[in-house]
Amino acid sequence: MPALRYVIVDVFTDRALAGNPLAVFTDARGTGTKTMQALAKEIGFSETTFVLPPEQGGHARIRIFNPRAEMPFAGHPTLGTAFVLAAPLQLGMIGIETGAGLVEITLERDSSGHVEFGRMQQPVPKVYPFERTEDLFAALGIAASELPVELYDNGATHIVVTLASEQAVAALAPEPSVIARFEVTGVNCLARAGDRWKTRMFWPLGEDAATGSAAGPIACHLCRHGLVPWGTEIEILQGEEIGRPSTLYARADGSEAGIERVEVSGCAVVVARGEFRLEERAS
């Protein structure tokens, strides 16, 4: 009866029981795809990661599953896994191989050597116009977006909608079944909140507490449309409405010629450890 050990880490928060929870199976060698998917469904978090030996020059390779399917890339799973793996390895930078390529995370430590912050260089997203705006506005219960609605693809696919106020973002209550019709990772709705940005991400399973793969595209969107200067780090607030307040930081470097570099940063906290004992591992 093999033991599959995991660590639970709350990502994009500096305190336990906030942020976006993640389960990291630290040694998934010999674990089949069906078992990985079943474990992700059993745990029920928005994502679960499985750590494997590297194949492309990184320190580790991960496979990312939500309760329904495998994902090539997701932000909070990649950052959270980096926190879990870097602690015992005493690394200042860790390279994690994902389905969207190698992602490098630079780690900042306190005076005791404890990892307290991570900066993740994300894949540069491709940007596409989004044509189904009338259907989208009806699904969200809004009249319009402050900026053009666009689709960003960095291994995850995110629609970005900009509203006039944080109160308008807080009032949203779309049906997940309707959001599922757009066949994207998530629909992200944001508004300025003082010197920060409030966002909510809706996907077919409900609402996400902290969406690292969307934070980079949000920074890109704001820079591309002139609301934020290129190279400026923004602070993003998410998850308040579902009781999981999260703080993300994002920066996009580039110009009118295009996006050059995307960085998403934040904290994470290990909150639990455990193991599954299975009679057999499905292939």
Residue pLDDT, tens place only, 158-210 = 999 999 999 999 999 999 999 999 999 999 999 999 999 999 999 999 999 99
One domain for residues 114 and 134: no
User: Tokens 């996009």 sit at which residue?
Assistant: 252
One domain for residues 254 and 271: no
Average pLDDT, the chain: 96
- Identify the weakest region by mean pLDDT among 59-73, 84-98, 205-219: 84-98
User: Phi, psi at residue 43, to the nearest 5°?
Assistant: -70, -45
> Please, which residues have CB within 8 angstroms of residue 43's CB and are 6 or more apart in sequence?
23
The beta-strand segments (E) located in the chain are 3-11, 20-25, 48-52, 60-65, 70-71, 93-98, 101-109, 115-122, 126-129, 150-153, 157-162, 186-193, 196-203, 206-208, 234-238, 246-255, 258-266, 268-277
* Residue 55: inside a domain: yes
Instruction: Round to the nearest angstrom and report the end-to-end CA distance of the chain.
Output: 16
One domain for residues 41 and 63: yes
* Residue 28: inside a domain: yes
One domain for residues 172 and 74: no
pLDDT at 227: 98
* Residue 73: inside a domain: yes
Tokens coding 80: 């959270």
One domain for residues 137 and 113: no
Instruction: Determine which one of 47, 97, 150, 263 is catalytic.
Output: 47
Name the pTM for this structure: 0.96
The Cβ of residue 200 has, within 10 Å, a number of other Cβ atoms equal to 26
Total tally of structural domains belonging to the chain? 2
One domain for residues 102 and 152: no
H helices present in 103-233, as ranges = 133-140, 166-170, 176-179, 212-224
* Residue 283: inside a domain: no
One domain for residues 62 and 148: no
| Contact status, residue 157 vs residue 184, Cβ threshold 8 Å | yes
For residues 280 and 155, which has the higher predicted lDDT (pLDDT)? 155
pLDDT at 91: 87
* Residue 69: inside a domain: yes
pLDDT at 109: 92
**CA distances (Å), 58 to each of 62, 94, 103, in order?**
10, 7, 8
One domain for residues 140 and 213: yes
- Identify the weakest region by mean pLDDT among 55-69, 160-174, 205-219, 268-282: 268-282
One domain for residues 44 and 65: yes
- Give the mean pLDDT of 226-253: 98
Query: Please, which pLDDT band fits residue 61 given cuts at 50, 70 and 90?
Result: very high
* Residue 282: inside a domain: no
- Give the mean pLDDT of 9-14: 98
Q: What is the CATH number of the domain that holds 93?
A: 3.10.310.10
What is the residue range of 273's domain? 3-122+267-277
**CA distances (Å), 142 to each of 22, 139, 185, in order?**
32, 8, 20
Tell me how far apart the alpha carbons of residues 170 and 265 are, in angstroms, rounded to a whole number.
24
Evaluate if residue 1 carries a pLDDT over 80: no
One domain for residues 208 and 234: yes
One domain for residues 175 and 255: yes
* Residue 130: inside a domain: yes
pLDDT at 280: 57
* Residue 156: inside a domain: yes
The dihedral through the CA atoms of 65, 9, 267, 149 has a sign that is positive
Annotated catalytic, 42?
no
One domain for residues 159 and 85: no
